[in-house]
Amino acid sequence: MTSLTLRAGLMAALLTVPGIASAQSQLDRFEALSERLTQLTLEGVALQVPALAGNLPSVEWDRRMRRAGRCALRRYEDAVGEAGVAAMLTEFERAVQTAQPGDILAGNFNAGVPQGLTANDVSSINTACGLTELQTEQLAGVLQALQAQ
């Protein structure tokens, strides 16, 4: 392998790093936002059913959730571009900062839909990537406790 070929290969590899870093940063933001939104939802449920306080499941993403989140972000990006996903995450961050536990349960939380997509589009992407199923699994214990009430 010539020095020129090696340098060209190294340069090509280095040029891809910002994209990787950006994708990782978006995934980290998406994960943190999802965890916070789930926490707010659970807090809202616990306010309505005090017996659940202290018995709520973890909101932390595991490897499967990160894989599903990465899939969703890629599909969002395919639909609206990287700038559209960045704008969605920024809007989501602003909305989560002021959200209250009851807001989510009352349907008063409206963020997280990239401009150019509908809520149905986002739901379809989340379902196709497995996010919806994993979030349902995450909340299964709460649903069982609610049914027992």
pLDDT tens digits, 93-121: 999 898 888 887 888 887 778 889 998 99
Q: Do the Cβ atoms of 79 and 43 come closer than 8 Å?
A: no
As a whole number of angstroms, the distance between CA 131 and CA 90 comes to 20
Q: What is the DSSP letter of 48?
A: H
Q: What is the pTM of this model?
A: 0.77
Write the pLDDT tens digit of every residue in 13-59. 323 333 434 556 999 999 999 999 889 988 888 888 888 887 788 88
Quick one: the chain helix, strand, coil %, rounded to 5?
A: 80, 0, 20
Q: Do the Cβ atoms of 146 and 45 come closer than 8 Å?
A: yes
Q: Do the Cβ atoms of 104 and 40 come closer than 8 Å?
A: yes
